[in-house]
Amino acid sequence: MRDFILFATIVASGTGGELCVSRAMKNVGEAVSFHPAEIMRVILRALRQPWMWVGVSMMALAFFALLGALSVYNVSFVVPVTALSYVAGALGGLIFLHERVNFWRWIGVLLVAIGVTLVFLGKG
């Protein structure tokens, strides 16, 4: 059960953080040039977005959970299992950001999920 909670924390908070940051940046908009003043304007607008702070906080939680996992398990196990974030990212993009996910992307997500399952089953 401890394993499940640790890896669920990594995947959920990491992917949730990326989704929140993406939502914040969609509100901010893109920089129209690479002039330093324009870059600073985009950064300052991003820092005023609540979604940015939620996202950064969630990503920090995921990072520290990842450090915990790496202190206990082999990286050859941790990295493939945390690839479940690809599945969560596709679902989150669809539900939270209302993105279109095409058929081939779902096939890729399915293959990742199968790979993660095989790695997890081979843990012992």
- Any idea what DSSP says for residue 46? H
* Contacts of residue 60, Cβ cutoff 8 Å, sequence gap at least 6: 17
Q: ∠ CA 25-112-62 to the nearest 5 degrees?
A: 50
pLDDT of the residue at 52:
97
Q: What is the pLDDT along the chain (124 residues), one digit of tens a residue?
A: 888 899 999 999 999 999 999 999 999 998 889 999 999 999 999 999 999 999 999 999 999 999 999 999 999 889 988 999 999 999 999 999 999 999 999 999 999 999 988 988 887 5
The pTM score is 0.87
One-letter amino acid of 15: T
Q: Which tokens belong to 42?
A: 């985009």
The predicted pLDDT at position 123 comes to 74
Q: Count how many residues are written for the chain.
A: 124
pLDDT at 41: 94
Phi and psi for 82 in degrees, rounded to 5?
A: -70, -5
Quote the pLDDT of residue 53.
98
Q: What is the pLDDT of residue 3?
A: 84
pLDDT value at residue 122: 83
The confidence score (pLDDT) of residue 50 equals 97
Three-class SS state of 115: helix
Residue 14 · residue 85 · CB < 8 Å = yes
